[in-house]
Structure 1
Amino acid sequence: TSDFSQSPKDLLSSVNYLQHINENCPSRLNWKKIRSETSKDPLLAKVYSHIHSGVWPHGISREDSLFPFWRRKEQLTIEHGCLMWGYRVIIPVKLQQGISNILHSTHLGITKMKGLVRSSFWWPNLDKTIEDLTKNCEICYKFRSEPPRSILNPWPWPSKPWTRLHIDHFSFNQKYFFVAMDSCSKWIECFQVPSPSVDGVIEKLTECFSRFGLPRSITSDGAPCFQSSEFTKFFNRPRNKSSYWSTVSSSNKWRG
């Protein structure tokens, strides 16, 4: 039985996909086994009935076990006795652990395994099944990919205050602040600003310069407001040209 809202091309793709599973997956994954277990699964039997009749409840609670299927009801079909969500085969509870173990045997890690399983199969809480399986696997943990760490390059210590200034924005309680820190003395100038815009930065830096003079250098993390043409023009003004400008990575901007 098929959902006749599908186009002939989509319908043919679903049938061909089941044949692909039958020919290329291990025997315990073939579609005949999936069909057999689908008919024995109480929840999937109910889903099968709703798809076959075309009649679904008008509203379902999120806590209802039928909800994950109900919200996808427009994309659910029946092909050769197997339930399909689009081109993905819906796996009965009894086969979920076995399929997870087979696909996990290559120890791809959480992200790659999710991609692999999602490309072929689906069941409620699929992501959690994969996460639990890989998180408890010593091999996956040992060979997990870690994000590259930034190399910390401490700045040389300034010989006197107001030589190098580090600037940035931060938010707190839905308010924005601009902060400037002297690298030598660790003196902090902090200002509340309407937004992390270049206008606010220029205004507050001008105030700092009027009280402490011009620093020899200023650094930031290279946020958009610090790379704008207005900011460049500000430092190209004759009275500001004694300062030079640089950007650094966010992991290093407050070191030194």
Structure 2
Amino acid sequence: MAAARIQRWAWTLSTYEYKIFYKKGKKNSNPDALSRLPLNRVGKTEVPAEMIMLMDHMDSTPVTAQQIKAWTRKDPILGQITNYVLKGWPNYRDNDEMKPYFSRKTELSVFDSCLLWGNRVVIPNPGRDIILQELHEGHQGISRMKVLARGYVWWPNMDAEIEQTVRACHKCQVNRHAPPEAPMHPWEWPSNPWSRIHIDYAGPLYGKMFLVCVDAHSKYLDVHVVNSATSANTIEKLRTMFAIHGLPESIVSDNGTPFASQEFQDFVQRNGIKHIRSSPYQPSTNGLAERAVQTFKEG
């Protein structure tokens, strides 16, 4: 096939007469127009500088040195601290507003009328909200905001204000990581049989509901068939079990309607039984009954 295709191309090309001329590469634009086509203007194309580790290029800073200088001059605390840095520090004064600056007096300096702590600019009060908004841009979280802030700015209680800004942000709270789950506290093993029982409903199965009851001491399983999971049917089956095994000290159930109704509460109170309900949306807190339901379904 390849030989036949080459032979056909040779036959097609042989029908033409050719004149071969030499042309310099810079004028030979026909083979590769994208790389060889000459431009109308002569000059070097400017390549934009690389921007590393930047997502956005800021045309202007949130605050300027002139603004910080003016705010520092008007601020009574920072103006006084600036004077101390230039002319000498007095004895320590028991002042809550001055205390953060006195503890850093050997590291404070003044450059162009702006107060610095190391290489970080001390931001006066009018510019702090602007800096917080800039740090919070992108909703990066508390840790990332603190890392960025500690590289450039400082003011007293800055970390606490950053944490408060994130906690007050609805988007940050919605998208935050779920807190770690607390370890489950196991139920204590009762010393006597039928002192604590766990109950739950299984079904519907074959059009019926099944009241599953398990003893926490012996793991004895007792299952009763009912037409519907109502408080009246639950009480009726529990009376049958209590007539055989006696009254338990406590009953553990979920927050289902048959167990949370006032009728069921009156029943357990009249019989002196303590009713314990599991935590909402946490079926594992009544895990013994859940496992008994699973065993019943598998059987």
TM-score relative to the length of structure 1: 0.47
Tell me which of the two structures has the higher relative contact order, counting C-alpha pairs closer than 8 angstroms and 6 or more residues apart: 1
- Structure with higher Rg: it is 2
